[in-house]
A and B are shown apart, each in its own frame.
Chain A
């Protein structure tokens, strides 16, 4: 068999697998819509404000509620020592161009976000 035939066949298989994965992504996203809606309802009903991603410190657990004006959160000269701090960028006004301008999103599960 020609080498190009083997290559093109394997490439076609890769494209096929990727196509299947993208198809799966679309169908899973549709199926997950219910779960996301339930989560959004839970957030609305319990008045939650943050994702439960980093539970190591209060200012990483509730990123949006953290007192960002406080330079040293725990005590004077207490530098940020939690690894998740390295994932979280500083506030936009301090980071200049590092953080891009917020993007509007079109999909809405509960109600459109408040407009300023």
Chain B
């Protein structure tokens, strides 16, 4: 065993000396190989981490969201629909949602404005007061008596709670960063009637939740309706919870039969969307991967198509001085193995640093697209051994095969012929 190991080390020494003799070529090779592994590993780590994070976070998404569709477009839903959905057997509860987008022309960013569900007077039919009747008193926000106040407070540590009274808003960290706003500042919005609606920032969502709250502006129903001029008997859409989780699809079917102008979106669909959004074979990632894979194929093809004249002569000389065919192949194996192992580990380490320490800085411009407001988030590193094994078989094995085949072909011919062919 010891002799065998010593022999392998000697062969490795020889292979490394051979690589060092063609220093420039092999350094280029190593750099290219590392780059390919880095790209593939980065895409794999990034998409896997993002997809997994999305699936974990969005498990709290509504069981069924029901939207009204008019002329193929999402439209506001009349509140009588709520009672009709509640009457469907299997429905546990229905909550109205009020949300929409606000384009800030000054900074060119889109915000998502949202009224926390369950706080809307239209959703509480026993509420004697209309939504516009809540006193809009700035600065009188007392202790967090509203469900919104206590809710947001339990989730976001640095909030001044009780803050969400009419006239106040809770903004996402991305909005705060872009607008240079903090708690106590005022943001002015252009309402649908052209008037200015100043709203005080009651609190800012923690940056830890930026992946879901970066562009959010949470406000009260009276402010929302005033801003967008939405009548009291309309809501954006409704969310439905179902008594028996196994009946979600059936209840969704009943809703679409009973209200044919609506579209139910079940949570499974949301999760499926995010499962496939960052599938690493989709969209622009295909382009990145295709380029990397194509480069690798060309590279492997170049290797597989034959050895250089110098390498052929070297094999001829080795055989002439007494090397066995098996030893030549082993030496070539170590040449390939040293390059590919070094490149593999370096590429994977660099990819990890790139994705989880620099927040995928190389991909950020592509992901950011034309978004002015982009969340600053650190991905949770979900890296599995399976990913590394897949990557190993995608990169190291093809290269090893590509280098072994021509070496085997050259090693099996007569040394004299090998040296003559090299001339």
Q: Which residues of A are in contact with B by a Cβ distance under 8 Å?
A: 2-4, 7, 10-11, 14-15, 17-18, 21-22, 24-25, 28-29, 32, 35-36, 38-58, 60-65, 67, 69-70, 82-89, 92, 98-100, 102-103, 105, 107-116
Q: Provide the bound-state CA to CA distance between A103 and B278, in Å.
A: 13
Contact partners of A18 in chain B: CB under 8 A: 345, 348-349, 352
Say yes or no: A116-B249 contact (C-beta < 8 A), given A56-B110, A58-B101. Answer: yes
Contact pattern, B 44-80, Cβ under 8 Å of A = 1, otherwise 0: 0000000011111111111101010100111000000
In the complex the two chains form, is A14's CB within 8 Å of B346's CB?
yes
Q: Provide the bound-state CA to CA distance between A9 and B158, in Å.
A: 48
Nearest B residue to A92 via CB reads: B276
In the complex the two chains form, is B352's CB within 8 Å of A21's CB?
yes
| Number of chain B residues close to chain A: CB under 8 A | 99
Nearest B residue to A36 via CB reads: B56
Contact partners of A89 in chain B: CB under 8 A: 276-277, 279, 282-283
Q: In the complex, which of the residues A17, A18, A64, A105 has the most CB atoms of chain B within 10 Å of its own CB atom?
A: A64
Q: Provide the bound-state CA to CA distance between A82 and B371, in Å.
A: 9
A17 to chain B, nearest CB (A): 6
A116 to chain B, nearest CB (A): 4
In the complex the two chains form, is A61's CB within 8 Å of B370's CB?
no
Q: Is B373 an interface residue (CB 8 A)?
A: yes
Interface residues of B in 62-118 (CB under 8 A from A): 62-63, 65, 67, 69, 72-74, 95, 97, 101, 109-112, 114, 116-117
Say yes or no: A84-B73 contact (C-beta < 8 A), given A35-B208, A63-B277, A113-B271. Answer: no
In the complex the two chains form, is A25's CB within 8 Å of B369's CB?
no
In the complex the two chains form, is A114's CB within 8 Å of B242's CB?
yes
Contact partners of B63 in chain A: CB under 8 A: 114
Q: Provide the bound-state CA to CA distance between A93 and B210, in Å.
A: 32
Say yes or no: A40-B60 contact (C-beta < 8 A), given A4-B16, A52-B210, A61-B112. Answer: yes
Q: Is B239 an interface residue (CB 8 A)?
A: yes
Q: Provide the bound-state CA to CA distance between A52 and B101, in Å.
A: 13
Say yes or no: A48-B61 contact (C-beta < 8 A), given A55-B372, A83-B369, A86-B284. Answer: yes
Contact partners of A107 in chain B: CB under 8 A: 52, 56
In the complex the two chains form, is B248's CB within 8 Å of A36's CB?
no
Contact partners of A28 in chain B: CB under 8 A: 380-381
Q: Provide the bound-state CA to CA distance between A16 and B116, in Å.
A: 48
Q: Provide the bound-state CA to CA distance between A84 and B372, in Å.
A: 13
In the complex the two chains form, is B109's CB within 8 Å of A55's CB?
yes
In the complex the two chains form, is A11's CB within 8 Å of B341's CB?
yes
In the complex the two chains form, is A98's CB within 8 Å of B282's CB?
yes
Contact partners of A102 in chain B: CB under 8 A: 268, 271-272, 275-276
Q: Is B383 an interface residue (CB 8 A)?
A: yes
A83 to chain B, nearest CB (A): 4
In the complex the two chains form, is B61's CB within 8 Å of A88's CB?
no
Partner of A51, one of B13, B17, B109, B212: B212
Interface stretch, picked from B25-33, B137-145, B214-222, is: B214-222
Q: Is B366 an interface residue (CB 8 A)?
A: yes
Q: Is B296 an interface residue (CB 8 A)?
A: no
Partner of A65, one of B16, B65, B212, B374: B65
What are 22 residue pairs bridging A and B, where the CB atoms are less than 8 Å apart in the complex?
A7-B16, A14-B346, A21-B352, A25-B381, A29-B380, A35-B208, A36-B53, A36-B380, A38-B155, A44-B61, A45-B116, A48-B61, A50-B58, A52-B174, A52-B211, A53-B367, A55-B373, A56-B110, A63-B273, A100-B276, A113-B59, A116-B248
